[in-house]
Amino acid sequence: MFALLPFRRSGSKLLAPSPNRWDWALLPFVLLVLSALAFGAAQMGHPFVLGQPTPISLDPLELPYYLLRTVLRMFTALACSLVFSFAFAALAAKYRAAEKVLVPMLDVLQSVPILGFQAIAIAPFIALFPGRMLGVECAAIFAIFTSQAWNMAFSLYQSIKTVPPELNEAARLFRLSSWQRFWRLELPFAMPGLLWNMMMSMSGGWFFLVAAEAISVAGQDIKLPGIGSYIAVAIEQENGHAIAWAIAAMLAGILLYDQLFFRPLLAWADKFRFEETQGETAQSSWLLDWVHRSSVVRGVSDRFWSALRSTLGWFPARPVAPAPVARNTSTIDWERVWDVVLALGLAAVATYLVVYVHSVVGWGEAARVVGLGFITLVRVLLLIGLASLVWVPVSVWIGLRPRYAQRVQAVAQFLAAFPVNLLFPLVVYVLVTWNLNPNIWLSPLMVFGTQWYILFNVVAGASTLPTELRLAADNLGLKGWLKWKRVYLPAVFPSFVTGAITASGGSWNASIVAEYVSWGKTSLVADGLGSYIKQMTEAGDFHRIALGIGVMCVFVMLLNRFFWRRLYTLAEDRSR
């Protein structure tokens, strides 16, 4: 609860508290942030003519400006992803009919590569803002959104589904409505894991940044001012010095938003931990300490939350009486009717796909693409398995030690954000010099940016392990493998499944970048579905792009339905 503000009284009026030294210390920072946001937003409205190239300079002095434009796009996409996650998780977790549609739909969406979204969205956004840069900016933001939203939505959905039964029982006793339950119980319970996935989403945006800012569809080459376009031009010109400057700019940007955004949020969200004692897991943030000491900021915060509560009625003083239960006199089984409607819809889609393949691309081409899909499937499963063996123990160790978690937080964000494109010079040199097989040695690039989904989710799960449970395990003398088997692994299993699902979907997307590597005029191609989609995108063959994306969606949906979802159900049962 917010502390009472030191209001000054003048006659019969209450005046706002006077600024203290912490307010004056925060003032330059606030003005700098607002000025940068205003300047970056103003640049988005510049004129734009399709077909006219936008010059991208490799001068290092341009990097601060490019970094500002990139970070602004990524935070805009992050805000949209957060709103999407709230809506998706609330509907999918509370309504079974919606869950049957939304969860498979999210499987499809996360399996559609960013190039597929761009091919569909770039023209409508440009038409929406003709002659303005804002249309292309919206297309880039939408592309970044597609690399951020899915794991956040899965994380929030998983957290709501695994709320401890005692908390649900308390919500029923207090007669909370669905709206109140979401804001007062489910969202606070999910907050630690959601914040770690927000960090992973930012890193995922960096990973696909080149594809988002350097748009190449159907012969159109559009480059927006940003770090992604800077990297794309550096790769085209084989400029190693520019690559090094881009890495330095990325590191500076990640450190800045880690200290100024995510670190304060993690420290603030520590109060939502589900335990009776705080233990030794408290996060700290120098910026949050400054804000707490600022009288003006605290006054504005108190008034904002007070106005929000009274306007939306989230926290009424009296509990809402339960609505009378209506007797169901209908003999129609609406759930079964809904299942029939979904089955008919799937049958219609399947019929359309069969007709499309038969009349447009041919069965021979479809069979070849399915074979390429199996090759990529083997790579995905093998790499996710190896990454899990490495990162689950490491993540649990980090999550149980918050001091180390804070130290590795920025490092993990940087490694997760490191675009695989920056490794192309080294990869091409090594494979060409030693004459290595691209089908084998390009494969690790697929998991380079997606293994961190497992790390971030398991760290979040381990960091929310109640201190009293850990103390109970110590008192019972649990050690070694027995302690991992009985305490740690069951505790982080739901978080691991969430991370593995998103890592699997991300690996399918990353195959487009990893199976087709180029540095200057040298290209290395591995057999697989990702390289097929990449080549068809560059050729502008939309029919085969649709075929490749459709096959990828089918593979991801079947993998999720018959493998990951069964683990997900097991995680729900074990958590309860």
DSSP notation for 508-529: HHHHHHHSEEEETTEEEE-SSH
Burial of 232: CB neighbours in 10 Å, binned 0-12, 13-18, 19+: buried
525: β partners: 516
Predicted pLDDT at 8? 47
Model confidence at 76, pLDDT cuts 50, 70, 90, reads very high
> Count of CB atoms within 10 A of residue 342's CB?
14
Does residue 91 or residue 409 have the better pLDDT? 91
Model confidence at 310, pLDDT cuts 50, 70, 90, reads low
Across the range 459-466, mean pLDDT stands at: 81
Across the range 165-175, mean pLDDT stands at: 85
**DSSP 8-state symbol, 297:** H
Q: What is the pTM of this model?
A: 0.77
- Say whether 215 sits in a helix, a strand or coil: strand
Return the structure tokens found at 89. Answer: 């998780």
Model confidence at 216, pLDDT cuts 50, 70, 90, reads low
| Residue found by looking up tokens 């400006």 in the block | 65
Predicted pLDDT at 385? 92
Say which residues have a Cβ less than 8 Å from residue 269's Cβ, sequence separation at least 6: 191, 192, 195, 283
Predicted pLDDT at 53? 73
Predicted pLDDT at 565? 78
Query: What is the residue-averaged pLDDT of the chain?
Result: 80
Give per-residue pLDDT as tens, 109-154: 877 777 667 767 777 888 888 878 888 898 889 989 988 898 899 8
Across the range 157-183, mean pLDDT stands at: 84
**Range 78-273+344-575 classified under CATH 3.40.190.10:** no
- What φ, ψ does residue 149 adopt, rounded to 5°? -75, -35
Across the range 215-235, mean pLDDT stands at: 81
Q: In one letter, which amino acid is 432?
A: V
| Residue found by looking up tokens 């093998």 in the block | 382
> Count of CB atoms within 10 A of residue 515's CB?
29
Q: Residue 266 pLDDT more than 70? A: yes
Q: Which helix (H) or strand (E) holds 216?
A: strand 214-217
Predicted pLDDT at 386? 92
Predicted pLDDT at 373? 93
Residue 107 CA to residue 563 CA, distance in Å, equals 13
Residue 372 CA to residue 311 CA, distance in Å, equals 55
Q: Residue 482 pLDDT more than 70? A: yes
Q: Residue 73 pLDDT more than 90? A: yes
Distance of CA 198 to the CA centre of its chain: 6
Helix extents (H) in 258-294: 263-269, 286-293
